Amino acid sequence: MRQGTLTEDDCTMLTYQKMRFSDVCTDYGIHYQNDMCAMHNWRQLRNECLISTPPRRFYVCHATYHVSRNNDDCIEALKSLPPQAYDYAPDILCVAESCQVRLLQNMNTAAGLVTSQSGTVVKVIYNNADTNRLLGGEHVVPYGIVVSFPAFQGFVSSGKDGNSRIFPFTAQRTWVPVFRKRFSVKVSFLPTWVRKKQLEKECFRIQFPLDLANYITAHRAQGQTMAECLVSVDLGLENHDMRMPPEIASILYVACTRVTKLENLFVSAIHPNVWKKIGQNEADKYICNVDERLQEASTAFAFVHGKYEEMVEELQWTADYKQNAEEWQSLQRQEQPPKSVRIHGRCTPPSTSYNDFHVVLGDIQFPIYSTPVLSERHIGIDQGIKNFAIAVVELIL
């Protein structure tokens, strides 16, 4: 693919699993466009919620908007803008307990909560004032989402004993409460008529900094290894009229090398005319030329510094392809598709208890209820730059 020497047999091998087992539900998927990722994420999550025993609740988190006046038409315009206009924060976020999500931006770098960090939704928390609406089936905006981030290292706190780490949930040290935040709109996406009605800084979307993580773009998949998982790749290459990006060879390469086994790769059909063009455009030829020049320059540099033999040995290294033929033959003998990790156990919601939701933030301790409580409600929420407070009243019935 990198050298532009792909054959028809290569295409057959790459798309073999998808052609044989077209109905397989994969664990992860890679696409070119964000819209396709969102559609497949929603569809997969909804199906998982329906087949779960008992069925899981499918939570719909609508974004809210701010406008300087009562301009309903401005709100509708802000709703219609794509996630790219708000640093990829969606207008509608759909989640369910145990689904995989990722952070859209750095939340706390010192704690390990950085962009694209993946986690599992543990619980969706609601304001108790919305209990009746929630039990009535309405899609009320959640107050917070508790996510388990394996990479979470605790929030840094500067105390008398020096820097220490705070873990909000003492019983579960990977759990992090995530709240909604403000996403300003990019001016280039904002219609002119909206800018005439109100200031640009007053146009923003309030949403959780999260998105579903099972289906992502090839650009976001860079550097990830999806071992022992079924991965689908659909870049829309089955249409010979598709206008391919100049870097399609690199995109396809990244998408197809996230798995460690060919049997776990499900690549959608690629039109023969499109296949012939991969790795053949001017950009691909330029990359090959640059590679050759870099090798020549590095060899000359190594010779001057007495490292010529080591450099030659490095350039002569090739991957071990001895098992390729055996793997291909094994794939052809396969009668049943490989098992999906998600269907066979990963979609089971995590078990929780009351003790899991006991929160400790420094000297402040309080419980978070994991189920709606009809006997109490929040009557005030005040969030400042350094202080956060919730006023609660207990109703005894």
Report the C-alpha gap between 212 and 102 in whole angstroms: 6
Q: Residue 379: how many CA atoms within 13 Å on its side-chain side?
A: 7
Residue linked to tokens 């969706």: 124
E strand intervals along the chain: 28-31, 59-62, 64-66, 92-95, 100-103, 118-125, 144-148, 155-159, 162-166, 175-178, 181-184, 204-207, 210-212, 215-217, 231-234, 265-267, 358-361, 364-367, 376-383, 388-394
In tens, the pLDDT along 226-283 reads 888 899 999 989 888 777 788 888 899 999 998 988 999 999 999 998 898 888 888 8
Question: Tokens standing for 69?
Answer: 């006046």
In tens, the pLDDT along 331-380 reads 999 888 888 776 544 556 667 787 788 877 767 777 777 677 666 666 56
User: To the nearest 10°, the Cα dihedral for 367, 373, 379, 380?
Assistant: 40
pLDDT at 5 over 80: yes
Question: What's the pLDDT score for residue 345?
Answer: 45
Q: What is the three-class DSSP state of 184?
A: strand
Contacts 24+ apart (CB under 8 A), 42-46: 42/94, 42/212, 44/214, 44/215, 45/94, 45/95, 45/96, 45/99, 45/212, 45/214, 46/94
Question: Tokens standing for 70?
Answer: 């009562």
What phi, psi does 350 have (nearest 5°)?
A: -70, 140
Question: What's the pLDDT score for residue 395?
Answer: 64
In tens, the pLDDT along 87-146 reads 999 999 999 999 999 999 999 999 999 988 889 999 998 887 888 888 888 888 898 999
Question: Which strands form 118-125's sheet, in the order they lie side by side?
Answer: 175-178, 144-148, 118-125, 100-103, 210-212
pTM of the model: 0.78
Using only C-alpha atoms, the chain has a radius of gyration, in whole angstroms, of: 26
In tens, the pLDDT along 64-73 reads 987 666 677 8
Question: What's the pLDDT score for residue 287?
Answer: 84
DSSP string, 49-73: HHHSSSPPP-EEEE-EEE-SS--HH
Q: For residue 195, what is the enclosing H or E element? A: helix 192-197
Report the C-alpha gap between 380 and 127 in whole angstroms: 10
Can you name the residues that pair with 360 across neighbouring β-strands? 365
